[in-house]
Structure 1
Amino acid sequence: MEKRSIENEIKKSYLEYAMSVIVSRAIPDIKDGLKPVQRRILYAMNELGFTHDKPYKKCARIIGETMGKYHPHGDSSIYEALARMAQDFSLRYPLIDGQGNFGSIDGDSPAAMRYTEARMARISEEITEDLDKETVEFRQNFDGSLMEPVNLPGKIPNLLINGASGIAVGMATNMVPHNLVEVARAIKHKVDNPDSTVSELLKFIKGPDFPGGGIAYYTSELADAYSTGRGKVICQGEVDLNEEKRIIIKSLPYGVNKSLFVQNIADQVKNEIIKGITDIRDESDRKGMRIVVKVRDNDMRNLVLNQLYEHSELETSIGIINLVLVENEPKILNLAGMIQYYIENRLDVIVKRSNFDLTKQKDRAHILEGLAKALDKIDMVIDMIRKSKEPAEAREKLCKSLELTEKQANAILDLRLQRLTSMEVDKVISDLKDVMARIKELETIIADESVRRSIIKKELDEVEKKYGDKRRTKIIYKELKGRSIEDLIPEEDSVIILSENSLLKRVSLEEYKAQKRGGKGIITPSRKEDSIKSILNCSSHDEIYFFTNTGRVIKTKAYEIEKKSRKSVGTAAEALLPLNEGEKIKQMVKGTDNSNSILAIVTRQGYVKRTPGKQLLSMRSNGLKIINLEEDDEVLSVEHLDGDSNIVVVSNSGKVALFNTREVRVTGRGSRGVRAMRLKENETIISSFAIKENEMILSISELGLGKRTDTTSFPVHHRGTGGVLIFKKTDRTGNIIKALPVAEGDDIIIITKNEKTIRLKVKDIKVLSRVTSGVKLIGLDDDDRVAVVSRVMEGENLEGEEQAN
């Protein structure tokens, strides 16, 4: 027993194992583009004569031959390799012609090997062609009883047209398939121009060509794969949007399981990760793939498609590593390197093949020369043979008298009498001339590399003609930019609800259907000891500005506010926005894209200021100080104004002041502003807004009464006045709680302190004079009061439906 260091023994054993996996199992050889198991399967079938023009044979017999003679591994792994070589969805150019169930793109497993049959595909015979002409090296099989080829001659550039994948120890290969016609033309260009660069070769090879088609994006990362051997390609399934309310998926990216793909989409729709899909069906048949995705309406198709690209395998990224074995050494090659090695291998095969043929032709010429001599003196030869007692004596006489070799003499002795006719004599002379011409041709091939290169081009022309086909995968030449969140989120009308304790939630506007005036409403809950402060109607893609009690403004997208049902309570603003300690949200408004707009800001204590809106557009995510506030003051309203407008300011005493924005000069964000309305003790501003010519003022009391009033009822004064009456307070009405501008086609949403919500049509609310009290808009319990009111402008998801609650 020999003592060894365990460290050295483990290291040695592991390295031997790793090299065995790399060389003997997982990585393809650059010469024929095959892994050992694939090579052995094809060699076994070639030896058995299972060519494309012979009947199919049971796969069990092929597997047994391969396993018993050349590949001492499990039959299941060998059958799996054979089945993959027969799958037209796995290989661009299948190497096995299979009969029976060899699996499907849905992930179905092949039938047992005792049921399936196979033979070599015609293209595989191009890979094994000239194998019997000493073109490749042979080595002993695993038990030393037989010889097997180290690699196959490989007339077909299999590595480039079919790709390869394999995981070894510490390394892996993943090569994508290409179109045979494009590859052949690139190789021919490289044959004529040995110094061709990758960029020159890419004029012929447009990009990967996958068996199932689809779309591949030619990006900088794919260009890196061709120039360095490492990169990736982004693939998409091909879709058709020509059918109403449908997305038709006609192909999937390479390697995607169709059945799992459909199931994954269904699961994501169920979990509300993908929205807008109403049904999904697999209508694929023998004619091709057809997955039908039904969407709610045509306007949502692009959004749903973006969600499918983002959350399903309709778009995938395939990593490319061109790792191959070059003389049993793993190397990563670029496109030019792979083509160069293919050319070098073919040049070597042609030389070896030509040498083999030359030897055969010289042997043939030698025999024909002897026959020609014998036929020239046939009478003497016949007489010599007749007078000889035995063949050995005749052979000796022929060699001596005609100066022949033993081989030539044997050929003469084996000559049949029919060859003595004049036609046969002429044929021998003709054959000799042909053989000598062939010898000269072969000698030229062996001596001149340019001739061998011409042969490579000629063979590729034949291959291209036999097996070439049209490209299946579409190539799009552009960088695929990352999708923004907005590309994946449905644009829907929403209501953002803010509570007194700075709780926020976003609710779909669809949850609030229009009711008749005086209805009871529906419940919109908040937490105990909290009440709703304000609501804002917006789109989920709108930019929302939140104003705090410290005069800061913070912006965010509406979809970043957690969407909830109307029955759920909100989320603390601190969890959604970068608020400072003790800071509370006091107001919220929709943003604008107009960098020239002027912000009109009105505070609860009656101050107004105008400041450039571009400050909000360029603000950072952590907020911006927009106004200096007194300790007991807060921002009440913010308006984006494009020009001069009339501003309406309403106090809790039921008075309104109307003045033009020209009265307020534009100041920086550090100012407090000027007086908008002169307030008495305990009087505050409850509403402020810009009014348009076609709008009226809607005023609503805390007990649910309201009215519309024409703006002509209010005189336009200078800012800082005490205002005129807009609402007559009585015991039946209570205090005025809100005033806002409305148009005839608008809706309004009212939320009460007891969490009731109602949506009304503005046209159902009476137009009354400014000194009246109004009509009942919502029925309230004795302990309930109106909390907030919001406007839904015409065209913003108007359902036109009535809902009884």
Structure 2
Amino acid sequence: MEKEQIIRTEYSDIMQKSYIDYAMSVIIARALPDVRDGLKPVQRRTLYDMYELGIRYDKPYRKCARIVGDTMGKYHPHGDSSIYEALVVMAQDFKKGLPLVDGHGNFGSIEGDGAAAMRYTEARLQKITQEVFLGDLDKDVVDFVPNFDETEKEPSVLPVRVPNILVNGSDGIAVGMVTSIPPHNLGEVIDAVKAVIRNNQITNRELMEYIKGPDFPTGGIVVNKDDLLSIYETGVGKIRLRGRVEVEKGKGGKDRLVITEIPYTMMGANIGKFLNDVANLVENKVTTDIVDISNQSSKEGIRIVLELRKNADVDNLVNMLYKKTRLEDTFGVNMLAVAGGKPETLSLKSIIDYHVDFQFELATRKYRTLLNKELAKKEIQEGLIKACDCIDLIIEILRGSKNQKQVKECLVNGVTEGIKFKSKVSEKAAKTLRFTENQATAILEMRLYKLIGLEIEALMKEHEATLANIDKYQDILNNYKSMARVIIKELDAVKKEYAVPRKTGIENAAEAVFEEKKVEEMEVVFLMDRFGYARTVDTSVYERNKEAADAENKYVLSVMNTDKISILTDSGRQHLIKVLDLPYGKFRDKGKPIDNLCNYDSTKEQAVAVESLQKLKMSILLFTTKKGMLKQMEGSELDVAKRAIAATKLMDDDELISVETLGEYEQIVLQTHQGFFLRFPIGEIPMKKKNAVGVRGIKMADDDFIEKVHYLAAGDDAIALYKEKEVHLNRLRIGKRDTKGVKTRV
């Protein structure tokens, strides 16, 4: 028994090697497509499994669960959901310019609806998949490799005749890298491949005479045409996409905007988000020209209708949609694929170069296989023709032999020992026979009807055809131009049968400019009740209903409609609400919960102060916490763009109880739960930044806390209540900050 060896190594080295191995496995074997067939392993294995199961385009559909289970068991030992998702995407014509699977049942929708479970849906191969992707698998055109448990063989790549990586595009996230290749038009891509075959020195710029740009199945318009050359040369960049908007005339001189095509990136849940965004633009009064929006999309295509007011500025509205919603979006391009066994970012020309090399490799292997078959047929045919010329001798050999071995020895090597001949002439002729092993086998297996005159004539014609095929195949294999002609002819046939007109427009368009109507600045009154419902009303409306407004609302502020409302909470955070986002109208109109207007959560925090941001940023603020921490701060620190920030820093288990704008106030009185009162000058409280906790205002017992904060100006005669006893605050002696204060006796 061998002695066990312990190899000592750095843990970091093992981790590094293991992680690199894992990363390469994800990159090569899962996430990135192969540049040759444009397929990821899961897609390739699923299509091959359907081919092996005989689920052809002219055969009945089969349950997807059967396809997924078979693929998982034989070729792809990963989750069934990943296989089914790949199968579903290959069947969705709104995601793939050239669907590879013919799905039957609910395979999802462009609006983001998911496919039905695999036990309900059925599928089969598309005709183009069977003919163009899997057509020559029986001609030894690609290598077959063992599957994961070495019980089956699977193709290392499919013999795809068109650059599928361009036609259908691809997207995937690997480890440390991502691929995002847009789909293109099949006819244009084939023309580009033919151009490269005819002239290998062609440039990316010249290729763009054939490939105008991406062609997305959802249509739309690419609006940065001038950037495409750079994208195709480097393999990376951003494509700007817009939906297609048409103007229809409605009744009464009212127009309607109809969106008939959307950006590829807007598919799925983003359609619903777009509708919500438009509704929000109307609700927030960014535009008043849209009166209704409806999604009338169906299987026939996208149709989103925006009803407009009479005399609406249509051009400005369209620009608003491009500027403020995802009707204009960007598609990030990163043409990364596995090429030569490693990931590589490719230009348009290099992708087609790889494809052309692959096509010549396929053609070479195909025609070498066909040539070998024809040479084998030629051998047999020549043996049979020769046998027909001496058939009487062969029959004599057969009748005079004891076994098949004797006959073969005679036919191949002219050995006549042990065979009875009618004459010495026949034996002498038999000794001259020199058939090959294959010819001798064919002669022994030949049926008598083959000796009919017409059959012999047919054999001669078949032999002539075989010789013609041999010449043809040898010419293709030995002559670049002949092979190129054959490949181009096959590409033309594919283009003729499967090419479709371009869907996506390519143009240069100016940046969308939307001119928002300037809001007329005016003073309004902000009202917020104790339940957190807020709204604004005109100042004249407030004056007429002042008594009711003050009684029914917790906060009443006079603000400008261009201002923001600052809500400072017990958690030390500030939430900002634009006054324009608040409902504005009649006095009895219902307000909107502030929870819906900002990140404020009334279940987790409570408002401590609500004030106009304009007022706050011009003031000095005094913060007081439950544990007695105090600080002064410039209100300008709260003037930020973010809707939610930390307005002050709090210690653990502490909370903000008071924020006051300091004006005429000179003194502060802290009142604790246990009845201690401390009066001292506000000047003893230092100025701090918003990320500071502050200083201690009063010494308290561990179970005591600040209950109320009072502010005194010169001459104030303020009274506080403690357990129903009145405390005259201006009669308390003035103490020092951070002392115990005076206890009130009850």
Letter in 2 for 1:353: K
Q: 1:165: how far off? A: 0.4
Name the amino acid aligned to 1:466. E
1:221 aligned onto 2:227: yes
**Residue type of the partner of 2:14?**
E
Which residue does the alignment assign to 2:383? Answer: 370
- Give CA-to-partner distance per residue, 1:345-368, whole Å, 9 cap, x none: 001111111111111111111111
SS of residue paired to 1:330: strand
Once the two structures are TM-superposed, the CA of residue 287 in structure 1 deviates from its matched residue by 2.3
TM-score (norm 1): 0.61
1:298–1:209 CA distance, 2 compared to 1 (3 A): farther
**Contact 2:411–2:435 (Cα < 8 Å) also in 1:** yes
Deviations 1:542-564 (A, max 9, x none): xxxxxxxxxxxxxxxxxx99799
Pair 1:75 & 2:87 matched: no
Contact 2:265/2:331 (CA < 8 Å) preserved in 1?
no
* Aligned pairs (5 A) from 1:4-83: 4-83=9-88
**Map of 1:436 onto structure 2:** 467
Contact kept, 8 Å, 2:36 with 2:358, in 1: the verdict is: yes
- Alignment of 1:324 with 2:355, yes or no, is no
Is this contact kept in 2: 1:274–1:304, CA < 8 A? Answer: no
Is the alpha carbon distance of 1:218 and 1:379 closer, same or farther for their aligned partners in structure 2, counting shifts above 3 Å?
Answer: farther
Match of 2:95 in 1: 90
Query: What is residue 186 of structure 1 aligned with on the other side?
Result: 192
Aligned length: 529
Aligned to 1:395: 408
Alignment of 1:311 onto 2:324: yes
State the one-letter code of the partner of 2:284: E
- 1:227, distance to aligned residue in structure 2 (A): 1.4
Q: Which residue of the other structure, out of 251, 256, 266, is the alignment partner of 2:261?
A: 251
CA deviation vs aligned residue, 1:185-215 (integer Å, no higher than 9, x gap) = 1111111111000110101111111111111
CA contact 2:245–2:318 (8 Å) conserved in 1: no
Inter-partner Cα distance in structure 1 for 2:103 and 2:57: 10
Alpha-carbon deviation of 1:177? Answer: 0.6
2:284 to 248, 252, 272: 272
1:88 to partner: Cα distance: 0.5
Displacement of 1:282: 1.3
Evaluate the alpha carbon distance shift between residue 261 and residue 200 of structure 1 in structure 2; reply closer, same or farther with a 3 A threshold.
same
Deviation string for 1:296-317 (max 9, x for gaps)? 3442433332232223221110
Aligned counterpart, 2:369: 356
CA separation of 1:437 and 1:236: change in aligned 2, threshold 3 A: same
Q: Which residue matches 1:338?
A: 351
Q: How does 1:509-524 map to 2 (within 5 A)?
A: none
The yes-or-no answer on 1:232 pairing with 2:238 is yes
Percent identical pairs in the alignment equals: 40
Q: Say if 2:267 is the partner of 1:261.
A: no
Structure 1 residue 389, shift from structure 2 partner: 2.3
* 1:259 positional shift: 5.3
SS in structure 2 at match of 1:112: coil
Secondary structure of the structure 1 residue equivalent to 2:266: coil
**What is the CA-CA distance between 1:269 and the residue it aligns to?**
2.4
Which of residues 204, 207, 210 is equivalent to 2:210?
204
Are the aligned partners of 1:274 and 1:308 in contact in 2 as well (CA < 8 Å)? Answer: no
Distance 1:77 1:497 in 2: 59
The alignment partner of 1:242 has SS state of strand
What is the DSSP-based 3-state SS (H/G/I as helix, E as strand, rest coil) of the residue aligned with 2:37? coil
Query: Could you give the per-residue CA deviations for residues 79-104 of structure 1, whole angstroms, max 9, x where no partner exists?
Result: 00001000011100000011111111
Q: 1:451 to 1:463 in 2, by over 3 A?
A: same
CA deviation map 1:61-89 (0-9, x unaligned): 11111111110001111000001000011
| Kept after mapping to 2: 8 A contact 1:361/1:435 | yes
Matched, 1:489 2:516: yes
Quick one: which of 155, 158, 162 aligns to 2:168? 162
Q: Report whether the alignment pairs 1:119 with 2:124.
A: yes
User: Is this contact kept in 2: 1:129–1:155, CA < 8 A?
Assistant: no
**Equivalent-residue separation in structure 2 for 1:348 and 1:257 (angstroms):** 38
Instruction: Report what 1:695 is aligned to.
Output: none
Structure 1 gaps, min length 5: 499-509, 514-519, 541-559, 577-805
For residue 223 of structure 1, report the CA deviation from its aligned partner: 2.4
Structure 1 counterpart SS, 2:103? strand
* Equivalent residues of 2:523, 2:558 under 8 A apart: no
Q: Distance in 1 between matches of 2:474 and 2:77?
A: 42
Map residues 367-766 of structure 1 onto 2, 5 A cutoff.
Answer: 367-399=380-412, 400=414, 401=430, 402-476=433-507, 478-481=508-511, 483-484=512-513, 487-490=514-517, 494=520, 572=614
Cα distance between partner residues in 1 of 2:285 and 2:585:
20
Contact 1:232 1:319 in 2 (8 A): yes
Q: Distance in 1 between matches of 2:242 and 2:490?
A: 35
RMSD of aligned residue pairs (Cα, Å): 3.2
The answer to whether the 8 A contact 2:274-2:327 is kept is no
Cα distance, 1:228 vs. partner? 1.0
* Superposition misfits of 4+ residues, deviation over 6 angstroms: 510-513, 520-523, 560-564, 566-571, 573-576
Shift of 1:221: 3.0
Aligned equivalents of 2:196, 2:476: Cα separation in 1: 19
Amino acid at match of 2:107: F
- Shift in Å, 1:573: 10
More helix per residue: 2
- 2:239 aligns to what SS in structure 1? strand
| TM-superposed deviation, 1:454 | 1.4
In 1: Cα distance, 2:617 partner to 2:489 partner: 71
Question: Gaps spanning 5+ residues in structure 2: where?
Answer: 1-5, 415-429, 525-536, 550-556, 563-577, 588-610, 619-746
CA–CA separation in structure 2 for the residues paired with 1:141 and 1:169: 24
With normalisation by structure 2, the TM-score equals 0.66
- CA gap of 1:563–1:147, structure 2 versus 1, over 3 A, is closer
Alpha carbons of structure 1 residues 302 and 406: separation in structure 2 relative to 1, 3 Å: same
Give the drift of 1:130: 1.3
Quote the residue 1:766 is aligned against.
none
Change (3 A) 1:567 1:169: same
**Alpha-carbon spacing, 1:366–1:563, altered in 2? closer, same or farther (3 Å):** closer
Instruction: Please list the CA deviations of residues 213-258 of structure 1 after superposition, one character each: whole Å capped at 9, or x if unmatched.
Output: 1111233433221111111111111111123332111121114235
Work out the CA distance in 2 between the residues paired with 1:41 and 1:143.
Answer: 17
Q: CA deviation at 1:396?
A: 2.1
Q: Which amino acid aligns with 2:275?
A: I
- Provide the C-alpha distance between the structure 1 equivalents of 2:120 and 2:208, rounded to a whole number of angstroms: 44
Which deviates more from structure 2 when the two are superposed, residues 362-371 or residues 384-393?
Answer: 384-393
Choose the corresponding residue for 1:282, options 274, 286, 295. Answer: 295
**Secondary structure at 1:318 match in 2:** strand
The SS at the match of 1:203 is coil
Q: 1:499-551, CA deviations, whole angstroms, 9 ceiling, x for partnerless residues?
A: xxxxxxxxxxx9899xxxxxx9999x9xxxx999xx9xxxx9xxxxxxxxxxx
> Is this contact kept in 2: 1:219–1:480, CA < 8 A?
no
SS at 2:261 equivalent: coil
**Distance across 2 between alignment mates of 1:100 and 1:231:** 37
